[in-house]
Structure 1
């Protein structure tokens, strides 16, 4: 399981890839969350906006979903850098507070069922609200939304 995940705004994939060794740090607008798997979170969010529902879809549906693209090739050091799909970035940027609340509830249910007591202590609604603000900035500036985790 990843320890720290940072969702951040970058002008392009090349700039995002350059964060691989040290992380985004203070140079990028970001939101941090502990103890989540960013690729499954991104897939969960994308699935929600394509098929909105408070109900948690079966794992088979999540695993069959299109997962985010790597920005850097995966190595054995545990560092992952993903690009959030543009359609998800736009959906997050335009999401209503009620949609974010519903998604946070669904995401919490999914994580709790998988991780139980090892679930993150972060408020997932606050994380989603922060990522939605980053998404709005990405849409307004023409940049992209990325995740970095170790």
Structure 2
């Protein structure tokens, strides 16, 4: 199931977890997008930086890079994940060319899974925004998180 998702910068897991019921709102620097599964997006990005390639890895490969919950999962549709530190570092250090290649690969994955129901968000702009947040996270010692409903 696809979600509305907000990637945001927070100082720590506890602060990120506190966003669970209301979302990050304007209190956190964030980037939003719609109709994307946050856990598969994070896994796709993480796998890309482990094995850079324009080619899509098998879907089973993504399941080995699943993000960690920041809050206990309950059956209300709200998810809060922490992006792995290695992914935050990789996004902060990513070149424009790497972000473009990743955006193309991510779009190909979404097209193969969602077809016409794919998000109409500019995936490169989303990645560029998340990379900007990653730079801030590295500078401040904070972390990157996703909140979705």
TM-score > 0.5 by shorter chain: yes
1:22 aligns with 2:10: no
1:71 aligns with 2:74: no
Question: After superposition, what is the alpha-carbon deviation per residue over 1:64-108, rounded to whole angstroms, capped at 9, x for unaligned?
Answer: x22100000000000000000000000000000000000000000
Structure 2 portions without partners, runs of 5+: none
Q: Is the 2:3–2:38 contact (alpha carbons within 8 Å) kept by the matching residues of 1?
A: no
Q: Take 1:135 and 1:20, find their aligned partners in 2: how far apart are those partners?
A: 21
TM-score, L = length of structure 2: 0.98
Root-mean-square deviation (CA, aligned residues, Å) is: 0.6
Residue 39 of structure 1 deviates from its aligned partner by: 0.3
* Equivalent residue, structure 1, for 2:60: 60
Q: Take 1:132 and 1:20, find their aligned partners in 2: how far apart are those partners?
A: 23
* Equivalent residue, structure 2, for 1:86: 85
Aligned length: 149
Structure 1 portions without partners, runs of 5+: none
Q: Take 1:44 and 1:67, find their aligned partners in 2: how far apart are those partners?
A: 9
Q: What aligned pairs does 1:1-150 form with structure 2 within 5 A after superposition?
A: 1-63=1-63, 65-150=64-149
